[in-house]
Amino acid sequence: MVQADIPQLSGECNTWRETLRQYRDEFTKDKSHLQHVASQPLSKDQLQQVEHLHNQFHIQLINIHDLKQAIKAHDRNLSLEVAVHEGSLSKDTLTNHESLLEQYQSLGKTLQELREEFSGFLDKAQ
């Protein structure tokens, strides 16, 4: 068992989940905006890019949801483990926290790339 700053770990989880909610809202709006753009006359290449972006928005919204749920379960586990082990956490729990941080950062990078790709598409489509 390892002593850890539980409020800090839980706070990180809450921050990550809030950011993921913001991403979800942003990409849901972007997906809707893409559908609006797709209703206009587009070239074959533009239609292929619309399909690609639509698929990416769908996939990334699923990834956001899955990671948000994993973080929520981890946060619940933090509270439970602290209660059971009198303020200590297992090394596995801390390792899981670090893994979730890596997943969160990786997803953030992927989402930033998708943002840039969508913005470039909009610049060319309009």
Q: Can you name the residues that pair with 1 across neighbouring β-strands?
A: none
This prediction has a pTM of 0.92
Q: Domains of the chain: which residue ranges?
A: 2-125
Residues 6+ apart with CB under 8 A from 78: 6, 9, 10, 13, 89, 93, 97
pLDDT tens per residue, range 64-120: 999 999 999 999 999 888 778 777 788 999 999 999 999 999 999 999 999 999 999
| Phi, psi (deg, nearest 5) at residue 42 | -135, 155
d(C-alpha 94, C-alpha 96), whole Å: 5
Fold observed for domain 2-125: Butyryl-CoA Dehydrogenase, subunit A; domain 3 (1.20.140)
